[in-house]
Amino acid sequence: MAPLLEIRNLSVSLELPNARLHAVRGATVSLDRGQTLGIVGESGSGKSMTALALMRLLPRGAEVNLDRLAFDSQDLTAVPDAVFAREILGRRMAMIFQEPMTSLNPVYTIGRQLTEASVRQGVLSAKVAHQRAIALLDRTGIPDPAGRMSQYPHQLSGGQRQRVMIAMALMMEPELLIADEPTTALDVTVQAQILELLAGLQCEMGMAMILISHDLAVVSEHTDRVAVMYGGEMIEEGRAAEVMAAAKHPYTQALLKAIPRMDGPPVKLAAIPGTVPSTTSIPKACIFASRCDFVRDVCRSGRPPVQGSDEHWRRCILGETELATQRQASPVAAMVRKAVEASTAPVIEARDIVQVFQSRRGLFGPKKEIRAVDGVNLTLKRGETLALVGESGSGKSTLARVMLGLSLPTSGSVLMRGKTLGGMSPRERAALVQPVFQDPYSSLNPRRTLAEIIVRPLELRGDGNSQTRLARVREVMDMVRLPQRLIHNYPAQLSGGQRQRVAIARALVTSPEALVCDEPTSALDVSVQAQILNLLTDLQANLGLSCLVITHDMGVVHQIANRVAVMLKGKLVEEGSTDAVLNHSSHEYTRTLLAAAPRFRAEETRLEFSGHE
Partner 1 sequence: MLRYILLRGVLALAVAFTVSLAAFLLLNVATDPARAIAGEDATPEVVQTIRVRYGLDQPMPVRYAQWLGGVVQGDFGESYYWHKPVAELVAERAGVTIALALAAMAVTILIAIPLGVLAALNPNSWIDRTALGVAVSAQAVPNFWLGLIMIILFSVTFPIFPVSGDATWMHFVLPAFVLGATSVPAVMRLTRTGLIEVMGADYIRTARSKGYSGASLLWRHALRNALLPVISVLAVQLGQKFGGSVITESIFALNGLGRLALESILGADIPTVQMLIFVFAIVFVVMNLLADILNAALDPRIRIG
Q: Which is nearer to partner 1, 122 or 462 (CB)?
A: 122
Beta carbons of 286 and 297 less than 8 angstroms apart: no
Q: How far apart (Å, rounded) are the C-alpha atoms in residues 95 and 89?
A: 9
Per-residue HEC secondary structure of 492-523 comes to HHCCHHHHHHHHHHHHHCCCCCEEEEECCCCC
Helical pair 158-170 and 188-205, crossing angle rounded to 10 deg: 10
Smallest separation, CB 492 to partner 1 (Å): 22
Helices (H) and strands (E) in the chain, counts: 22, 23
In sequence order, the 6+-apart residues with CB closer than 8 A to the CB of 519 are 438, 550, 551, 552
Nearest to 516 by CA among 590, 436, 459, 419: 436
* Amino acid letter for position 206: G
* Amino acid letter for position 21: L
Q: How far apart (Å, rounded) are the C-alpha atoms in residues 288 and 581?
A: 39
Smallest separation, CB 360 to partner 1 (Å): 11
Per-residue HEC secondary structure of 349-382 comes to EEEEEEEEEEEECCCCCCEEEEEEEEEEEEEEEC
Binding site for partner 1 (CB under 8 A): 55, 57, 81-82, 85-86, 88-91, 94-95, 97, 99, 102-109, 116-117, 120-121, 152, 154-155, 165, 168-169, 361-364
Beta carbons of 389 and 396 less than 8 angstroms apart: yes
Q: Which is nearer to partner 1, 94 or 424 (CB)?
A: 94
Beta carbons of 384 and 415 less than 8 angstroms apart: no
Per-residue HEC secondary structure of 445-470 comes to CCCCCHHHHHHHHHHHHCCCCHHHHH
Nearest to 172 by CA among 88, 54, 71: 88
Burial class (CB in 10 A: 0-12, 13-18, 19+), 159: buried
Smallest separation, CB 203 to partner 1 (Å): 23
| Alpha carbon distances (Å) from 399 to 371, 389, 475, 516 | 11, 11, 31, 11
3-state secondary structure of 149: coil
Helical pair 250-258 and 320-329, crossing angle rounded to 10 deg: 30
Q: Which is nearer to partner 1, 17 or 611 (CB)?
A: 17
In angstroms, how far apart are the furthest CA atoms of the chain? 77
Q: Which residues pair with 267 in a beta bridge?
A: 334
Q: How far apart (Å, rounded) are the C-alpha atoms in residues 248 and 382?
A: 43
Q: How far apart (Å, rounded) are the C-alpha atoms in residues 179 and 168?
A: 13
